[in-house]
Amino acid sequence: MPDLDRLLDDFAARFARGEQPDPREYLDQAGQEADELRELIDSYLVAAPPPPPDEEAVALMEAWIAGEPPLLELRRRRGRRRDAVVDAIVGALGIDPAKRARVVGHYHRLESGLLDLRRVDRRVLAAIAGAIGATVEELAIWAAPPRRSVAADAYLRAAPEADMAAPAARAFLAPPPEPDEVDRLFGIEG
C-alpha cells in the first residue's frame, strides 16, 4: 500500500524548490489510491504559493507572448549557435553528412515553430537538448505550437493559372521528394 503522505510530501518539497514535478508520476505510484492523492495534490496546489519564476522562464514566456519561438530564445539564451546544434543532431544520430543541409532546414523549421515538436523523434530532441544544455522536458515545455507560414498561405491562395513558366513556380508545384530518414526523424511523413 503506497504511503500517500510520503508521496505528497515529496511532491510538495520539489514544488517548493521551484521544480516542476509531474503529478502523473506520483499518481502512478499511488496505484488504486490515485484519486485520493489527486485530491491531496490539487488541494496543496490551490493553497501553496507559487515559487518565484526564474529569469530564464520569464524571458522565454515573454518571447512566447511576443510571438517569438521559445526554442530559438532558449538556444540563444544558452549561448549556442545553430550550427553546433545541427552538428550535434547529425553526429548523435549518425546522419550522413551529405544530408546536413536537410537537417539545417528541418531544424530551422522546428526552431521557428513550423514543425510540431511532438512528432519529432525523441533521439533528435535528446541531441538538441544536449547541445543547448537543456533537458528534453524543457524543450517540450517551451515548444511553440506549430504554425503555418505566411508564405505557405500566400501560395495556397495563388491562382491556378499563375505563370507556370517561372522556375520558382515549377519548383513549388513539383512533387516533393520521397521522405527520407531525416524527414522521419523530424516528424515529416510526406
Strands (E), 28-143: none
13 and 68 within one domain: no
Q: Mean pLDDT over residues 174-183, rounded?
A: 75
C-alpha cell, 181: 530518414
Torsion, Cα of 50, 74, 115, 127 (10° steps): -110
pLDDT in tens, 88-117: 999 999 999 999 999 999 999 998 888 888
The tally of domains found in the chain comes to: 2
For 27, the domain range is 4-47
In this structure, the dihedral spanned by the alpha carbons of residues 83, 85, 88 and 92, taken in order and rounded to 10 degrees, is -140
Q: Are residues 14 and 94 in the same domain?
A: no
3-state DSSP helix/strand/coil % of the chain, to nearest 5? 65, 0, 35
Contacts with 60 (C-beta within 8 Å, 6 or more apart), sequence order: 70, 73, 74, 77, 142
Q: 28 and 112 in one domain?
A: no
Report the alpha-carbon distance of residue 80 to residue 107 in Å, rounded. 14
- 13 and 83 inside one domain: no
Residues 150 and 70 in one domain: yes
Residues 14-73: tens digit of each pLDDT: 988 878 899 999 999 999 999 999 999 999 999 998 877 778 778 777 877 887 888 888
What is the per-residue pLDDT for 108?
93
